[in-house]
Amino acid sequence: MDEVLRLCDTITVLRDGKHVATEPIAQTSRDRLIQQMVGHEVLTRRPNHLDLEPGEEILRVENLSSLGKFENVSFSIRRGEVVGMAGLVGAGRSEVAKAIFGLDKSAMGKIFIKGQEMKLGDVTKAMRWRIGFLPEDRKKEGLVLGMNISDNVSLPHIDFFANLGFVNRSRELLAVQKLTQRLRVKAPSIETITTELSGGNQQKVALAKWMTRSCDLLIVDEPTRGVDIGAKAEIYQLLDEIACQGVAILMISSELPELLNLACRIVVMREGFFIGELAYDQFSQENLLELMA
């Protein structure tokens, strides 16, 4: 957007297939363009969860290691906190997230959920401990693109909608309908095939999977990668709302402003090692980059 503002004389904004405005660059601004693109004002505001007192400890990781990926990673997250995880590409952030969710069979160390030790390398157990995971690559790992919205959302929790071995389809559809409306998923219906959705709407569907049943811990890896600015604002607001409801969130992101705006603490990894942690009053891009690099 900044490049467009520098190089163009006029700019035209379309939204939902309709013409919104055509204006000279000299008469517009970045904030005005964002408002026209999204349909409402988007503010970079202080998230509400930062003003709430965190609750009990939900996640504690002690000396978590996986040969060749990361080593001796330790940190904790309390209820209602959004803890960011920063690091350069190859730092081991996504690998740590997968190990917490049980996707790494070779992981060693200890993970505690609400004070009780959880078995490593078992996704089913992790889900029973009410852990949700939004992976970095939604198309390969987060969604089944050939399935419709409803099936994608309910797939990890099909037992929740079943009774005596039979799925209560009306209950399932009602739950999915409520979630897609809350997340403002734009689609003709919940029977729409997921591959037909925009990147932002696909990400909302991937996130809805873990809102079908309340999570105690939600891990989100690059939650706004490949989505437009309107969807980003909605995802930020949703993560803030989830934290205010008492969910502990581990957020991995390569976008430093995203971490600095949403997180209450940021843990930093470098080349597979835990390097340090920044408290909220230490937040700055300079401090973060110094630890990362």
Considering the domain architecture, whether residues 138 and 259 belong to the same structural domain is answered as: yes
Considering the domain architecture, whether residues 168 and 191 belong to the same structural domain is answered as: yes
Q: Are 217 and 250 in contact (CB under 8 A)?
A: yes
Q: Are 9 and 17 in contact (CB under 8 A)?
A: no
Residue-wise pLDDT for 14-39, tens only, equals: 876 788 888 888 888 777 777 777 66
Residue 112 has pLDDT above 80, yes or no: yes
What is the pLDDT averaged over residues 202-219?
A: 89
pLDDT band at 42 (very low <50, low <70, confident <90, very high): low
Q: Which residues fall within 8 angstroms of residue 43, CB to CB, at 6 or more apart?
A: none
Residue 202 has pLDDT above 60, yes or no: yes
Q: According to the model, what pLDDT value does residue 44 have?
A: 58
Q: Is 128 exposed, middle or buried (0-12, 13-18, 19+ CB in 10 A)?
A: exposed
Within-domain flag for 26: yes
- In the chain, how many domains are there? 2
Q: Are 263 and 83 in contact (CB under 8 A)?
A: yes
Within-domain flag for 43: no
Q: Are 241 and 229 in contact (CB under 8 A)?
A: no
Q: Are 263 and 251 in contact (CB under 8 A)?
A: yes
Beta bridge partners of 57: 78
pLDDT band at 67 (very low <50, low <70, confident <90, very high): very high
Residue-wise pLDDT for 132-188, tens only, equals: 999 999 888 889 999 999 999 988 877 777 777 787 888 888 889 998 998 889 999
Considering the domain architecture, whether residues 14 and 104 belong to the same structural domain is answered as: no
Q: How many CB atoms lie within 10 A of CB 196?
A: 13
The residue written with tokens 């609750």 in the block is 55
Within-domain flag for 187: yes
In Å, how far from its chain's centre is CA 25?
34
Considering the domain architecture, whether residues 128 and 12 belong to the same structural domain is answered as: no
Give me the domain span that covers residue 33: 2-38
Residue 206 tokens read as 């991937």
3-state secondary structure of 247: coil
Residue 79 tokens read as 């209820």
Residue-wise pLDDT for 80-98, tens only, equals: 999 999 999 899 999 999 9
Residue 118 has pLDDT above 90, yes or no: yes
CA proximity to 16, closest of 37, 44, 32: 37
Considering the domain architecture, whether residues 221 and 268 belong to the same structural domain is answered as: yes
Considering the domain architecture, whether residues 185 and 216 belong to the same structural domain is answered as: yes
Considering the domain architecture, whether residues 114 and 235 belong to the same structural domain is answered as: yes
Sign of torsion over alpha carbons 90, 47, 73, 59? negative
Residue 152 tokens read as 């994608």
Name the percent of the chain lying above pLDDT 90: 62
Q: Are 13 and 36 in contact (CB under 8 A)?
A: yes
CA distance 6 to 12: 15
The reply to whether the predicted model has a pTM over 0.95 is: no
Residue 40 has pLDDT above 60, yes or no: no
Q: According to the model, what pLDDT value does residue 4 have?
A: 65
In Å, how far from its chain's centre is CA 76?
18
Q: According to the model, what pLDDT value does residue 156 have?
A: 80
Q: How many CB atoms lie within 10 A of CB 110?
A: 13
Q: Are 74 and 277 in contact (CB under 8 A)?
A: no
Instruction: Give the CA distances from residue 81 to residues 43, 104, 195, 241, 284, in Å, rounded to whole numbers and listed in that order.
Output: 21, 25, 33, 11, 19
Considering the domain architecture, whether residues 9 and 141 belong to the same structural domain is answered as: no
Residue 140 tokens read as 């390969």
3-state secondary structure of 18: strand
